[in-house]
Structure 1
């Protein structure tokens, strides 16, 4: 059995956008448990399947629930059968690394003749005949981040540099370097560096410097993520996005996404108010 997101099926498939079934939902929730030291990985899953006909096929063993796993960095691709309706699956160290795609799938173990659960769209003229191996339900793609890249502090992905060409009091972001570079004028750069060294100044730097810089990066990735893949900052930044549930290509609010990546930086400003009231 092969699976491709571009595949169009001649039979009804339960999925978010197909409309092949009049009712029903299929998806999974994944919880990652990772041994950073060894690279071994365990994934817990919880399945939601509310289409009664397909659910009955799974519960009677006539269909299987699994997950299509794809990792570009390790060239690993497989269809992994999963326990119903929940369970754990383990991956040895090195099998998966960095960005990993998980796509829940239900497929038939036997031929199915004259099947009509009562929820198939009329355009398929039910009952329908299905073959062994046919995919009958597809969940949404889930992206997880495996490995240490996602643990890199946001400051380590960026660097601050001075430039006489940048007007004082303003910032520019340079992406075509190994690290995302925030450029500032001489005096502005000096002020930022002094604030970074002060405990009370760190929240100011995070909100006034890093937050707009992260927004600039997200804006650039929305329109041309592939062009930045050769740069060293791209892998840890993308891993952090995956770990925080941020998708630069589809998320509409770059402000909301930037705040997720920086762990709600505005909350750090409370510290300044508290110290000022002492």
Structure 2
């Protein structure tokens, strides 16, 4: 999840907008250190110059969040704290070559009747409510190279494409050698290409398009591993990436149907469904 320069439906402290005056929020990845037993330790320092927002954090109404995402392995996780400096550890096998690290301040509970003397004058007289999970501040993130052999290249295993044939189906999936290609009707693909630049809708798009594709892929993997398919896909990038995820959850690919492909898909995608709901709530609140 990369923080993009976009317009939020509520005031957010960021270097790319003027929602606040005389305020700053910065975050620094101080150190990334490999530890014993294949663990990587991350140390982060936050600098927040806004007394009202800092007060929310001191009262645990808001939290500092560091979001880690590795597109290749589909690993994503958020680490939170109320301290200016903190550290956390991640198994190195979950990180593959390039990792996106994002920083933000997030509402930890619903904040009613928010006021801040350093808000831009456009918010004078406006009643503000922040629901849990909404961004209060964002800082520039970093793309962190990880020196190890990747499970797959750093691109996503999913690829949205516009269908080229006549009268295309609304949704088609093709299992290629590198990616899982999702074909959409051209007008739908064009709409998605436009709205993808808004970070807050990405979780919704993943839930709408990647989640069903992942369920189909898991069902397909189960058939292959049980010997019911002669399709030589075991060496494909997307196949091995999903096998890697299954191994993290100690799931035998032959037993996918017993557990349920949809259950496993939600585990692999982690908090993406909750992120989608939070994004939808934020969009509705802006109306």
- Between the two structures, name the one with larger relative contact order (CA 8 Å, sep ≥ 6): 2
